[in-house]
């Protein structure tokens, strides 16, 4: 029921593009080069998938064209000689009556409306979708306005992303200063090994697979602490017999959990609440601080990139699957102020990081709004609301005959 300008026409996308045949021109991903004479365009999210030196695989077609990911819904405007990659792409040559850039913007707008059917084919939906076609002169104005607004929007997005990166640096700088004594008076500091500050240290047992259950006691794995916090939305359950060896690995409130094997090695979490009956897997070390150190102080020290994490990372061994042992954890050197100063440091860290988190959330919201604004610009563009119409211009109906003439001259597939 949308009303378009009278000078516009609507045609299915399939009627204004030529679907280029790719027979014997598809390069398998395993044959991609990191460098080469010709770029390879595929359905991946990266603009260029790889390269090739095989001139015979370069597609023979007029440029520019739209490369559409039939499975991924990726849209790429290509204006250089290229080879198509693997399966799952459609190469679409726009009619001479349609600006390629206009078609690219329409496809980018439309893919947000096409249901994501996973690895199913999506081009059929794009081909049937009605493309609003302005007069040719107006197409140029529409594209120019979109590009102008997108350029301003991209600058704003770049600034937001830069600010978020600066916040990451600020967080680590704050932690570095905290454990160098730069946030407080730093009087009477000593240094102790982590082993001296832990009343209990162990790691999970092997053979937990035999005790997995659909419900029961919580089983904390490495993936539950990969973001330096305890995340229990994807938790496993176990049912242990009374005399099982794994009973010694039961978690308590105030314990510090450290990943000791795998890609997330050194990632840590503080148990801030009573979890009930819960155990750790063999990939997680359970550290129980003594009363002379605050669990929160030890946690922030361990996750500080320039402090505890650096020591643990330097000790991690094994290239393919890095790991730590309990002796590595015991040997970590910890700056050790009084309990009163530990509390002061924790309060300063958490207060300032809370402010940083609020700012980061504001920036994340602004980035989401930028995406919405981008779609709003495209919506206005394709509803005839972005630029003024000129009644003296040749209407788009005059383009219909030319488009039909082009289609009649194309070889039948």
Instruction: For residues 1-25, give the mean pLDDT.
Output: 88
Q: Is the same domain home to 380 and 405?
A: no
Report the CATH number at residue 405. Answer: 3.90.220.20
Q: What are the tens digits of pLDDT across the range 400-413?
A: 888 888 777 665 54
Q: What are the tens digits of pLDDT across the range 162-188?
A: 999 999 999 999 999 999 999 998 888
Q: Is the same domain home to 64 and 13?
A: yes
The pLDDT value recorded for residue 2 is 66
Q: What are the tens digits of pLDDT across the range 302-326?
A: 999 999 999 999 999 876 678 999 9
Contacts of 38 (CB under 8 A, 6+ apart): 51, 52, 53, 54, 55, 57, 58, 81, 82, 83
Nearest to 131 by CA among 108, 106, 114, 112: 106
Instruction: For residues 188-195, give the mean pLDDT.
Output: 94
Instruction: For residues 239-265, give the mean pLDDT.
Output: 90
The pLDDT value recorded for residue 351 is 97
The secondary structure of 114-152 as a DSSP string is S---TTS--HHHHHHSEEEE--HHHHHHHHHHHHHHHHH
Reading the block at residue 297, the tokens are 């102080």
Q: Is the same domain home to 146 and 127?
A: no
The pLDDT value recorded for residue 187 is 84
Q: Is the residue at 382 inside a domain?
A: yes
Q: Is the residue at 82 inside a domain?
A: yes
Round the average pLDDT of the chain to a whole number and report it: 92
Determine the structural domain holding residue 252 and report its residue range.
190-334
Count of structural domains within the chain: 3
Reading the block at residue 244, the tokens are 């099982």
The answer to whether residue 228 scores a pLDDT higher than 60 is yes
């Amino acid at each position: 029921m949308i009303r378009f300008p009278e000078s516009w026409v609507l045609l299915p996308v399939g009627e204004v593009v030529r679907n280029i045949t790719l027979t014997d021109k598809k390069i398998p991903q395993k044959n991609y080069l990191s460098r080469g004479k010709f770029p390879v365009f595929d359905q991946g999210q990266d603009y260029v998938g790889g390269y090739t030196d095989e001139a015979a695989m370069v597609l023979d077609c007029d440029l520019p064209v739209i490369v559409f990911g039939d499975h991924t819904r990726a849209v790429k405007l290509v204006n250089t000689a290229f080879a198509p990659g693997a399966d799952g792409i459609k190469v679409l040559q726009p009619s001479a009556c349609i600006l390629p850039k206009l078609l690219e913007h329409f496809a980018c707008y439309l893919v947000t409306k096409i249901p994501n059917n996973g690895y199913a084919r999506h081009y059929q939906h794009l081909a049937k979708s009605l493309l609003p076609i302005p007069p040719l002169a107006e197409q140029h104005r529409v594209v120019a306005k979109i590009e102008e607004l997108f350029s301003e929007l991209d600058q704003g997005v770049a600034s937001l992303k830069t600010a978020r990166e600066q916040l990451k640096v600020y967080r680590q700088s704050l932690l570095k200063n905290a454990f160098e004594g730069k946030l407080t008076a730093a009087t009477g500091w000593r240094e102790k090994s982590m082993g001296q500050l832990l009343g209990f240290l162990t790691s999970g047992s092997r053979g937990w697979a035999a005790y997995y259950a659909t419900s029961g006691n919580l089983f904390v794995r490495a993936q539950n602490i990969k973001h330096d916090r305890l995340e229990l939305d994807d938790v496993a359950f176990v049912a242990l017999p009374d005399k099982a060896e794994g009973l010694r690995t039961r978690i308590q409130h105030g314990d510090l959990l450290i990943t000791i094997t795998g890609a997330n090695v050194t990632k840590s979490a503080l148990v801030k609440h009573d979890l009930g009956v819960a155990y750790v897997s063999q990939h997680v070390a359970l550290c129980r601080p003594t009363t002379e150190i605050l669990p929160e102080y030890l946690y922030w020290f361990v996750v500080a990139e320039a402090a505890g994490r650096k020591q643990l990372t330097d000790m991690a061994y094994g290239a393919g699957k890095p790991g730590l042992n309990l002796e590595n954890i015991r040997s970590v050197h910890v700056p050790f102020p009084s309990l009163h100063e530990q509390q002061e440091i924790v309060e300063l860290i958490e207060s300032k990081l809370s402010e940083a988190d609020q700012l980061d959330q504001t920036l994340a919201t602004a980035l989401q709004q930028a995406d919405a604004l981008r779609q709003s610009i495209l919506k206005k563009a394709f509803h005839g609301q972005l630029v003024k119409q000129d009644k003296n211009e040749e209407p788009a109906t005059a383009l219909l005959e030319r488009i039909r003439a082009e289609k009649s001259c194309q070889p039948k597939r």
